[in-house]
Chain A
């Protein structure tokens, strides 16, 4: 047994009475922790997991038990404190250890988030290609499904290409996604019309008002809510009391973008576009938008505009400027100097017509900020500048090249390369001019700076660690202009021009048992993040409604394919057949999740596959629990690798 001094001492030995497997002694399999003389199993493996996630640990225990049931495996489970664990698995050397890591990630509407992070060779040593998958064909397939002229102009082609990716992954099985998480919230029956958004960040803002899906929630304490809300029953006014699970670190999105901070900011700020729960994009603060130009370039096209900056040993660059593009052939960690494009040179490149895509947004006129400013192109450009060198600048400026004012109500935003995700990736939250130039993080009510946006609610009061309160913004542009003024809106005439709940008061309650108690005691109308056993109790009660929606959160294990015999895809396929996905969902998560029969959750169906039902028919057989098939494959591997 290989021991790592950094490992926790909490090793769960799952040695069971193994069934006899084809004869005599044990052959220590190279790379398979096989120096235990007592073992009869051909495959000895170590599964690794972070100890603080009990569901994940139980899931790994189930997988281990399932593997051991075949008699082919002897397993060990090692648990680690979270930071130790991430430091360990993100190390490039980890791939050589032969361990099987288990971890969870959150994806978005972008199908890439369910394949790229785990499998692209660029992500080895960072999140989250933990085992060093290095499949050039797959890299190209994933890149070609997102970038390039063809897919950025043809969504159907993009879907086809992603279908190829899912098939390639099923056939090669570098990882096994076990299930997709459900995001849940519980409301009292005083809350009517509530519906879940697939990401916690937008939970309240989506439910309160979202014309994209004719979504509106209201408070009616005299009548009980039912699952099917009727717009004709809408009650205006009232206060929604909620409990959120952590403090609001700040209201300055580029500098505080954790879940509860984002949740609290989305009442206030809006972007040029909005999304529905399937990821379809709608013009919002922009009345309309178009792609004016797409050019077949890659990031090397900016080479002539780049300047050279020094890089230290860790890879930090010696510049105060935002790095827009880094030369693809330079390595900040290995090289002393790196060629980069900063905002000034990006502007020069755009002047010369060098860019990937040009989006033109026609802004809606008459949109008022909470401080009375009127939205113009200047606000949009200033907001992009506010994102520079912020905490989220890396993910913002991996797509955005430049933003430029065309006239008072027209703004062009340029993407670095032809990018099928650009439509979703480019828009950001728009700041008032009063606050766009402030120092990072300075938009902070604790310092007397009340955040200002164009959103339907204004911040009324905030007490650190205690509560945050909003009140409706009287001059909200949708109320002023009417929801019918939005070109794409074709909903019911009864759908209101803006949210109907007058006030929102959110209590900051980190302990989930206390949140649950506050809901039971009618002190709050809504909360979320409760234990699955608690959810069952609420669901059994007539006084509460449990809402659930599939999110982009997923759990997966990865196979150490650089270590024999894991380089044999039949072994990986066999283990994949032994993952009890349904059992994990039923027994560990009490049904509050969905088994991952494909690698694609519902929220990415729109852009990630031509036909999800067909895809599931084709891929599901690879992922079904099938002990018989697994044992056939294992027997073949044992014989071919002479493991008996």
Chain B
């Protein structure tokens, strides 16, 4: 199968997957108790059950679930993701407004993760079982184990309150594309990047270590190639396949956003909006963000598959 056909097939497969995702998410949202009207009225002694029913009817939340789903999916097909009940905002408007914030943060964190992970992973593999390797393992374990919210709060405490290099609140009046914003991405970026760096680093190290034991490496060394060339030209390229797969999968988190980090750093992204949506039982917004993220995750996996072929032409798409 040609790469083009493979991509086409995978893109088309998005449709049934998204349909499945939408059905499951819609069902899950409706299985959890409470709906937007419950959140809207809270505990209000002035509201009778009939008043509630009236509100529910007004917002189209009174029919059976399947009927609500059909209405919703019908609108989605025509490009209308619906509105948020509490504020009347369009779901697509919210996604559009929040996405750049999340992507900026996610990209920075992702880049930071790769920047740290790849050299450290290579170094750990080269210095296998030596102090550097143990130290990198310790760091990786710490990176995976430290909860994001704690690391975020610690970075705020140190970077903002003790050293005073960063404000606690990001400068929201500045456009996101302003170069100055790079500075404010550092702390949340480090927080996000640390966890992904840890996993990439371990994969990099294991994969490199495996390659180092192979015969072609011995042959390269026997040829008298300098160690630097052996590692960076031969071993690194062959080790990158699994790292690329992982890194490509992690790109999905660029869009999905980091809920905790966005909360702690007051970053108005998609993750924070998603949590609000769940708390408020904003069905349309939950569905909209889920579908959007679903598309991106599928595309990220597709990207990983394509990169496979680029890095290793032996891989075939059957």
Contact = CB atoms under 8 A, between A and B. Distances in A.
A126 B48 contact: yes
B215 interface: no
Interface string A460-473: 00011111000000
Contacts of A524: 169
A81 B265 CA distance: 27
A128 B55 contact: no
Contacts of B98: 465
Contact of B45 (A125, A127, A317): A127
B229 interface: no
Given A509-B266, A510-B263, A83 B86 contact: no
Contacts of A86: 33-34, 38, 43
B167 A83 contact: no
Query: Could you say which interface size class chain A belongs to?
Result: 35 or more
Interface string A62-83: 0000000000000000000111
The 5 closest A-B pairs by CB, nearest first: A83-B34, A315-B50, A117-B45, A441-B88, A465-B268
Given A83-B281, A315-B48, A394-B46, 18 more contacts: A105-B45, A106-B43, A117-B45, A123-B45, A243-B169, A249-B87, A258-B86, A315-B49, A315-B50, A316-B50, A389-B58, A446-B89, A464-B97, A464-B268, A465-B268, A507-B172, A514-B156, A518-B169
Contacts of B88: 250, 255, 440-442, 444
Contacts of A510: 263, 266, 272, 276
A126 B168 contact: no
A440 B88 CA distance: 9
B53 A513 contact: no
Given A395-B44, A518-B168, A521-B168, A332 B53 contact: yes
A103 B43 contact: yes
Contacts of B51: 394
B40 interface: yes
Nearest to B32: A83
Contacts of A509: 169, 266
Given A117-B45, A126-B48, A511 B266 contact: yes
A256 interface: yes
Interface string B50-78: 11111111100010000000000000000
B276 A247 contact: yes
B153 interface: yes
B161 interface: yes
Given A255-B88, A511-B266, A467 B43 contact: no
Interface in A40-86: 81-84, 86
A316 B60 CA distance: 12
A86 B54 CA distance: 19
A442 B83 CA distance: 13
A521 B157 CA distance: 10
Contacts of B43: 86, 103, 105-106, 127-128
B34 A82 contact: yes
Interface string B145-184: 0000000010011001100100111001100000000000
A416 interface: no
B236 interface: no
A312 interface: yes
Contacts of B97: 464-465
B47 interface: yes
B250 interface: no
Nearest to A107: B45
Given A127-B45, A465-B272, A507-B169, A87 B33 contact: yes
A247 B160 CA distance: 24
Given A123-B45, A391-B40, A517-B161, A256 B86 contact: yes
A83 B38 contact: yes
B49 A127 contact: no
B34 A316 contact: no
A315 B56 CA distance: 10
A441 B38 contact: no
A398 interface: yes
B302 interface: no
Interface of A: 81-84, 86-87, 103, 105-106, 113, 116-117, 123, 125-128, 243, 247, 249-250, 255-256, 258, 311-312, 314-317, 323, 326, 332-333, 389, 391, 394-395, 398, 440-442, 444, 446, 463-467, 507-511, 513-514, 517-518, 520-521, 523-524
Contact of A316 (B45, B57, B157, B168): B57
A123 B172 CA distance: 45
B273 A465 contact: yes
Given A83-B32, A391-B55, A465-B98, A514 B45 contact: no
B86 A127 contact: no
Nearest to B43: A127
Contacts of A243: 169
A82 B32 CA distance: 11
A269 B108 CA distance: 42
Contacts of A514: 156, 168-169, 263-266
Contacts of B89: 444, 446, 464
Nearest to A439: B88
A130 B264 CA distance: 37
B31 to A, nearest CB: 11
Contacts of A440: 88
Nearest to A398: B46
Nearest to B89: A446
Contacts of B40: 391
Contacts of A256: 86-87
Contacts of B161: 517, 520-521
Given A314-B53, A395-B46, A509-B266, A83 B33 contact: yes
B49 A126 contact: yes
A95 to B, nearest CB: 15
A250 B87 contact: yes
A447 to B, nearest CB: 9
A122 to B, nearest CB: 8
Nearest to B84: A249
Contacts of B58: 389
Contacts of A84: 33-34
Contacts of A315: 48-50, 52-54
A73 B180 CA distance: 64
A362 B52 CA distance: 36
A517 B49 contact: no
A510 B53 CA distance: 31
A127 B87 CA distance: 24
Given A83-B33, A83-B34, A521-B160, A128 B45 contact: yes
Contacts of A463: 172-173
B168 A517 contact: yes
Contacts of A314: 49, 53, 56-57, 62
A113 B46 CA distance: 10
A86 B52 CA distance: 14
Contacts of A106: 43
B207 to A, nearest CB: 38
Interface string B272-301: 110010000100000000000000000000
B58 to A, nearest CB: 7
A466 B160 contact: no
A626 B48 CA distance: 38
Contact of B49 (A81, A128, A333, A513): A333
B184 to A, nearest CB: 13
28 contacts: A113-B45, A123-B45, A127-B43, A127-B45, A249-B87, A250-B87, A250-B88, A258-B86, A312-B53, A315-B49, A317-B54, A333-B49, A333-B53, A389-B58, A441-B88, A446-B93, A464-B89, A465-B97, A507-B172, A507-B266, A513-B153, A514-B263, A514-B264, A514-B265, A518-B167, A520-B161, A521-B164, A521-B168
